[in-house]
Structure 1
């Protein structure tokens, strides 16, 4: 048991070492090339330049993280083969499953970490870099929103999601396609799970209308609670076509759109892109590890590495293309991205169950 743990730590350390080297090399190469393209822009000052490189590097890491997982496995196995360490493990009685286990464990943990990063504002790195490039702060104020929620139509003159405040808000309540109530307010605050309209003016329209009947009535309230569960971040994310979501944003946006009977394909696509697609790297790690022979003499390692690297880029490119196509509504994300990852998972399971016993 002790020897098996030492082998696990040794292989896991080599894999982790190459992963960090490749991940950071790819990220900062991407950031550096992007920076060179914008040398004559508004990136004035050392601090601004460093911050821009940091944001672009973070964006590149988000984009290339799964690729680094696969490339690191290829590099680590080549090192184990060239040093004859892999043959030594097999000669000492370790099975393919035992040697493969460190790669599976590390890549699975890192993939979970990668998915977990999408619960934070990590996904906004490219937006922040673009703001620096154009010499302005990230725009957090949304103006002139017009949207539907349940049986109400809402106009918001100005929304500040960070402060959970809205200016110039108007709510038109409908019942069976008939306007029955109008709510006006210069300011509204989101508190708890509801919006509180300050100094609200409420206009009631008579229904049904009849000659000599009661006319319009007006009430003034110091505060009026309405729009329960309509969160500021979801307002801007869904109805402004926001490109950058966290996984939590996407889930809440999906619930909101589904409750309103609206199309959820864009939000589902973003959710699968952040939470499902990254696992393709884990499946490729298993398939590729078992595809590389353990003997340096029986295979051209340089050619094999080149082919596997090209295959990884091809699969990653196909998944990204399907992600972009699914966003436009041409195909369902379940029939594109999810299906490809599922098939790769089946291939990885087959390889693990069959090839490890040969």
Structure 2
């Protein structure tokens, strides 16, 4: 247990040092390029924070692998690793702290994607462009169940819409139009105050009833039609929380629309981070336990380059699947599954050598 605590703390300490160093180095370079376009000390601090958060969202898995490499090098240079083996600890027992810590940190990273952590780049861009609202979608025209909806302006942050028109269809025929100067999303439904409703009857002849026009103070409609999902799905944006992505997937499935893009984003947030844990297992067993038989500096350089290469491949597959060129399951999921198989093989067989 003492060995587990010692190695775990060593790994966690190096992880936080590397992760925040990478994040704020990235943010610092970006800040030096754009500082002149930012007005006010508070704006600059916020911009640095958001850019650092965005960098952390990209570099978190890489930091998991790099910190394992640095931690094992520290164990080797201090002769602690050889001492553990001499005391009777097996490779599996020394590897377990790295597996558990990387697994728990990966779960933490995934949990952050349930929050506005994923919108850090959007917030930074809003500060740069001096915008009050992060997104204002204009001239949105979408289909929802048996209705077509036109929205002149949609403000997701306020859950409001301006100049909304709802065209209700039945068996391919237009039967009703609802007009509203504004609308507000109230939890699960949209409320349209001072709505104008035009109902078209079924026309059988000249004596049939004509158009019926009504005015209502409050109309409840479009249950489950969430504003954030609207802008993300129908404008093609990729800034989702995991909950938003799940809701968007359900919405697209219910409307019988293409879901590959949302599935790609969901897999990228939930599945792809585990590639780091797989590399931690594979690379740990690739580093020799002592410095006499090999050049540790060269090994560290090669493994760092390999980490960046694998991360680049995973990200490339995500971007390709996002564009619809390949099925998402054959992109990110397949790559992580292959790495998982390699990690499982290494843990079961290479630890016995």
TM-score by length of 1: 0.95
Distance in 2 between the 1:104 and 1:272 partners? 21
In the alignment, which of 190, 203, 211 is matched to residue 206 of structure 2? 211
- Residue 257 of structure 2 corresponds to 262
- Residue 312 of structure 2 corresponds to 317
How far apart are residue 240 of structure 1 and its match? 2.1
Say which SS state the counterpart of residue 214 (structure 2) adopts. Answer: strand
Distance in 2 between the 1:134 and 1:176 partners? 46
Across the aligned residues of Structure 1 and Structure 2, the Cα RMSD in angstroms comes to: 1.3
Residue 68, structure 1, aligned to residue 29, structure 2:
no
Distance in 1 between the 2:52 and 2:126 partners? 15
Gaps of 5+ in 2: none
In the alignment, which of 276, 292, 298 is matched to residue 297 of structure 1? 292
- Residue 84 of structure 2 corresponds to 89
- Residue 32 of structure 1 corresponds to 28
How far apart are residue 199 of structure 1 and its match? 1.6
User: Would you say the 8 A contact 1:154–1:170 is kept in 2?
Assistant: yes
How far apart are residue 148 of structure 1 and its match? 0.7
How far apart are residue 136 of structure 1 and its match? 3.0
Residue 164, structure 1, aligned to residue 182, structure 2:
no
Q: How does 1:123-134 map to 2 (within 5 A)?
A: 123-134=118-129
- Residue 185 of structure 2 corresponds to 190
In the alignment, which of 108, 111, 114 is matched to residue 106 of structure 2? 111
User: Would you say the 8 A contact 1:128–1:138 is kept in 2?
Assistant: no
How far apart are residue 319 of structure 1 and its match? 0.8
The list of structure 1 runs, each at least 4 consecutive aligned residues, that deviate by more than 6 angstroms after superposition, is none
Say which SS state the counterpart of residue 38 (structure 1) adopts. Answer: helix
Distance in 2 between the 1:139 and 1:80 partners? 47
Say which SS state the counterpart of residue 201 (structure 1) adopts. Answer: strand
How far apart are residue 165 of structure 1 and its match? 2.1
Say which SS state the counterpart of residue 291 (structure 1) adopts. Answer: coil
Distance in 2 between the 1:185 and 1:43 partners? 39
User: Would you say the 8 A contact 2:178–2:198 is kept in 1?
Assistant: yes
In the alignment, which of 89, 95, 101 is matched to residue 100 of structure 1? 95
Residue 345, structure 1, aligned to residue 344, structure 2:
no
- Residue 16 of structure 1 corresponds to 12
Distance in 1 between the 2:153 and 2:220 partners? 19
Q: How does 1:128-147 map to 2 (within 5 A)?
A: 128-147=123-142
How far apart are residue 143 of structure 1 and its match? 2.4
Distance in 2 between the 1:226 and 1:138 partners? 25
Distance in 2 between the 1:242 and 1:60 partners? 19
Gaps of 5+ in 1: none
Distance in 2 between the 1:169 and 1:244 partners? 25
TM-score by length of 2: 0.97
Distance in 1 between the 2:187 and 2:59 partners? 38
Say which SS state the counterpart of residue 168 (structure 2) adopts. Answer: strand
In the alignment, which of 23, 47, 50 is matched to residue 42 of structure 2? 47
Cα shift readout 1:251-301 (whole Å, capped 9, x = no counterpart): 100110111111111111111111110000000000110111112112211
- Residue 202 of structure 1 corresponds to 197
